Amino acid sequence: MKIFVDRIKCQNHGLCAISAPANFELDTDGELQYHESFDEEHIDDIEDAIDSCPLQAILLNRDAA
C-alpha cells in the first residue's frame, strides 16, 4: 500500500499531520511532507488522515507494493 497526495488539491491545512504524525508533517515552510510507503500498523491513522482532509487530497493505493 502507498499514500498519494494530490499536490494541486492540497492546501497544507495539516489535519493529516495531526491524525497520522508518523506519516505526514508540515515542514518549516508549512509545506506538507509525507512518506508514500508505511507500515501496516499505521493503517488506522492513515485512514483517519484521509477522512480528515477537507479537500480529499489524500488517496490510498491498496494495490501498490
pLDDT tens-digit series, residues 10-65 = 999 999 999 999 999 999 999 999 999 998 999 999 999 999 999 999 999 988 76
Q: What grid cell was written down for 21? A: 504524525
Specify the pTM: 0.89
pLDDT for 64 equals 76
Extract the C-alpha cell encoding 40: 501496516
Cα separation values, 12 from 1, 41, 56, Å = 23, 25, 12
Domain architecture of the chain: domains with CATH: 2-61 (3.30.70.20)
Residues 6+ positions from 33 with CB-CB distance below 8 Å: 24, 25, 26, 27
CA distance 65 to 9: 24
Query: What's residue 62's pLDDT?
Result: 86
Please tell me the predicted confidence (pLDDT) of residue 22. Answer: 95
